[in-house]
Each structure stands twice: as structure tokens, then as C-alpha cells.
Chains A and B, each alone.
Chain A
């Protein structure tokens, strides 16, 4: 594309079928202790991580 560069095409929807296992770290245990940031926690679920990108061509 001429006008757009895709930085991330992996969508949240692809985590719906296998997500929610609860194995990932609790965000407040990492460094903050006074505010909540969840998006920097790594997914621990191998099934979710292996699922192909549903929006990828």
C-alpha cells in the first residue's frame, strides 16, 4: 500500500477461542505496584500463541 504501513495485524479476536487460561503474570507483581498496565504481560498459553493470525493473508 502506498499510504499505509501495517505495524500490527494480530487481532485480539484470535485470542478468544483459547484465551482466558489465567497462567500469565499478575501485572502488579512486575514493577508498578500503583497503577495497572496489562498489555505488557507476556501470554503463557501455547495454544493461543500457536493460533495462526486470522487476519493475515
Chain B
């Protein structure tokens, strides 16, 4: 399967199954869309070059793995857990199911995840969560702990306790800590701590002042100096991350605004909301959103000094085919823990009792439910098998599927279409970088 497209005057060919990318001229592009017997002399010449690349294994290739292959069954995947479930290696710790903001699009229902109960994770539960991760991680060397909420800085003592405990409990493991914050409680002390201990910081801000303040309270003016202080004093990774809704379909302006403020790592995500929500994006928004991604990548091609998360595609050092087919690993390699110690497949499933995987308090883990998530292999799913983005998006987001369609297996069409457009833009930027 190939995907040939034109964007901002470039003709690009992606060989989906191999991952090879070609920048072609108009003769080669048109030759791909014309029966060979009707080729002009120039098209025939270009066709000859295309066929030589086919012979090299760069065009019209077969899938690297046979359909139906269990991408978790490799010996190297299981390390020392022979015959058992794949190791858990990443925990999203909901240290606070409470928040000091009331953002209009919050999938966490303003922090309590729809449970009606606001709580903070006690240090003892945090320790149990670290123990749970270490007991289930097998031989994995790289482990991840992400502090999330609600607002995790409302449980700052638990954050600090968890970091210290994990390092002491397993000095041989490499922990990567991430914290996602709305910034309200940032001060010099917390900034110094987070810059010292967190490998990655995610700082929430939606872009332009009116856009941000419409959904996130009147926080823009107070947050900006704090975030600038963070990045002035920080050497680790960070993202300024926002959400766009149907109120700012011109979200490229928000990305550019954040860049103009000096932020260099920017992510802006579509709001995931049930149909009918006043801020929900629908398929009717798609033409405007696609145009906006195209506009953004066109502007970035002219010499952007910032990165946009969804345009970051590493063509050469990216993940292996197994990782690409496994996707995010929710419910298998990745899980979320609530303040009460309940385990869910990911942060977006927290509070949905039907998806409760187990508990860090008694060490339980539902293998049957985990197996349902393991089976969400995008090489087996009909929609994904023929999709050009399958090795880039990993099969999409089960939680978004559930929110939008009521079924973890039923693809969120809008999410799929946006993933494809972002892929086109990302490859365009790579191609432009090489050719210009």
C-alpha cells in the first residue's frame, strides 16, 4: 500500500508497510496515477525509477509482520516473566482526584473522574503503587511514573514521597518521572523541585488569552510568568500543552501564539468529549481542522524555531514495528492508579468501574480485561489494516473510542482523520527539511 499526496507544492509518497518516504516530482507523481500504457515519455522515465525502488524493497512492499501475529508474545517482550502476562512498565499516578480549576472540557469531570468523591492519594497508597509496578515490571530497565490528576500539585507531598520511595526501593531501575500541571500552585520551591526531579513537565495553557481564559478560568495572566520561569531554569524536557475545542477551530493561531511567547515544545490536542457537549468537535469540523494543520505545517516549513508534538515523527530512530502495532499499551504495559489504589487501563478510564483492572492494595490484576486491550492490535482491525497512519498512531485511543462511540473497539472517526492529516503534515516537514 502506498499513500501519494501533494501538500504545499511537494509531492510525497509514503510506502506504508516499509515506512520508506520519497519526495517525487510531478512526472513521477502523475505516473503513479496513470496506467503505464498511457505514460508520456517523462512519466515512463519516472516510472522506471519507481520500479527500481520497488525492486529495492522501498515501494509496494508487504507488511513486515503477518496478520494476526501476537505482538506481545516475543521472548524479548516478556523478559523474565516467561509465559506470564507482558510486564507493566508505566504508571499514571492520580495523586489527586481534585482540582483547583474547573475547565470546560475536562475529561476528568473537574478532577473527581465522575465519582463524586474528591481525594488525595496517601503516601502509603503511593508506596503500594510503586511496589505494584516493581512486582509486575519483570526485567524492564526503564520505568515511567507520571503524576496526574486532577491537579497533582494539590498532592505535592505525595509526589515528593513517591519519587524518594521509588529511587530508594529500586536503585537499579531507571525511573522517568513526568508531571502534568495546570500551573496554579507553581512557586519557586515547586519549580526548583520539579526541574530537578521530573524528566518531563507538561504545563497546561490553551494559547491566546481569550481562548485560554474562556475554558480555564482567568488563568492566562497569572500562569504566563510562572511558565516562563520554569523554562528559564529548566534543562529537562517540557511541553506547553493546550486543548482546542469547537470554539477555536483556528487553533494554529494558538500554537503560533505560544511559540511567540518563547515556548519551544508545544502540544495542542483536540478535546475528547461526548457528542452533544457544547465544546465537542464533530466530523463537521474536519475540513476546518485539516486546513488548520496544513496551515500550521506550511508556516513551520518556513523556519519554525519550535516543535509541535504531533508533527514530531522520527523516520529513522523511531520505534519498532511491534511498538507501532501495540499502540499506547493501555491496560497492558501502562495503567493508571487512583488515590484509593484502584487500577485502570489508563488515566481516561479512571472511575469507569467496568474497566477496573485491579488494586495496588491487594496486588490484584484482571488478566481477562488486560487481554481485551492486548487484542487491540491494529494489524487485526479492519479499519486500521488499510490505513496509511497505522504505524504512526498505533491504532488510536481506546478511551476516545469509548467516549465518542461507547465501544473501545469502535474507532473515533474524527480522531482517525486528524491522525492521518497530522501524519501527512509531519512527513511533509521532514521532506521539506531534506530537500530545501
Chain A interface residue number, banded: 35 or more
Cβ contact within 8 Å between A30 and B318: no
Complex interface: stretch among B224-232, B298-306, B324-332 = B324-332
Tell me which residues across on chain A come within 8 A of B21, comparing CB atoms: 6-8
Query: Which one of A8, A32, A35, A57 contacts B20 once the chains associate, using CB atoms below 8 Å?
Result: A8
Cβ contact within 8 Å between A30 and B309: yes
Minimal beta-carbon separation of A21 from chain B (angstroms): 5
What is the CA–CA distance of A22 and B400 in the complex, to the nearest angstrom?
Answer: 24
Tell me which residues across on chain A come within 8 A of B123, comparing CB atoms: none
Query: Which one of B19, B76, B415, B427 contacts A21 once the chains associate, using CB atoms below 8 Å?
Result: B76
Cβ contact within 8 Å between A38 and B392: yes
- Taking CB atoms and an 8 Å cut-off, the chain A residues in 2-57 that contact chain B are 2-13, 15-16, 18-45, 48-49, 54-55, 57
Query: Which one of A12, A33, A49 contacts B180 once the chains associate, using CB atoms below 8 Å?
Result: A33
What is the CA–CA distance of A54 and B435 in the complex, to the nearest angstrom?
Answer: 23
Tell me which residues across on chain A come within 8 A of B313, comparing CB atoms: 39-40
Minimal beta-carbon separation of B134 from chain A (angstroms): 16
Query: Which one of B20, B77, B310, B418 contacts A20 once the chains associate, using CB atoms below 8 Å?
Result: B77
Minimal beta-carbon separation of A45 from chain B (angstroms): 7
What is the CA–CA distance of A23 and B76 in the complex, to the nearest angstrom?
Answer: 10
What is the CA–CA distance of A3 and B319 in the complex, to the nearest angstrom?
Answer: 30
Known: A7-B430, A19-B322, A25-B176. A1 touches B310 (CB 8 A): no
Known: A4-B28, A13-B18, A22-B86. A34 touches B320 (CB 8 A): no
Closest to B271 in A: A34
Asked if B396 is at the interface of the complex by the 8 Å CB criterion, the answer is: yes
Cβ contact within 8 Å between A34 and B64: no
Tell me which residues across on chain A come within 8 A of B418, comparing CB atoms: 35
Cβ contact within 8 Å between B45 and A2: yes
Known: A30-B309, A37-B393. A15 touches B320 (CB 8 A): yes
Cβ contact within 8 Å between B176 and A36: no
Minimal beta-carbon separation of A18 from chain B (angstroms): 7
What is the CA–CA distance of A11 and B20 in the complex, to the nearest angstrom?
Answer: 6
Tell me which residues across on chain A come within 8 A of B422, comparing CB atoms: 37
What is the CA–CA distance of A52 and B363 in the complex, to the nearest angstrom?
Answer: 43
Known: A27-B328, A29-B92, A41-B323. A34 touches B49 (CB 8 A): no
Give me the interface of A with B, judged by CB distance under 8 Å: 1-13, 15-16, 18-45, 48-49, 54-55, 57
Give me the interface of B with A, judged by CB distance under 8 Å: 12, 17-25, 27-28, 45-46, 49-50, 52-53, 56-58, 61, 64-65, 71, 74, 76-77, 79, 86-87, 89-90, 92, 107, 140-142, 144, 146, 148, 176, 178, 180, 200, 202, 239, 241, 243, 265, 267, 269-272, 309-310, 312-324, 326-330, 333-334, 346-348, 391-397, 400, 415, 418-419, 422-423, 426-427, 430-431, 434-435
Q: A29-B146, A39-B319 are in contact. List 9 more A-B contacts (CB 8 A).
A: A4-B24, A4-B50, A7-B23, A11-B61, A23-B142, A26-B328, A34-B107, A37-B392, A42-B319
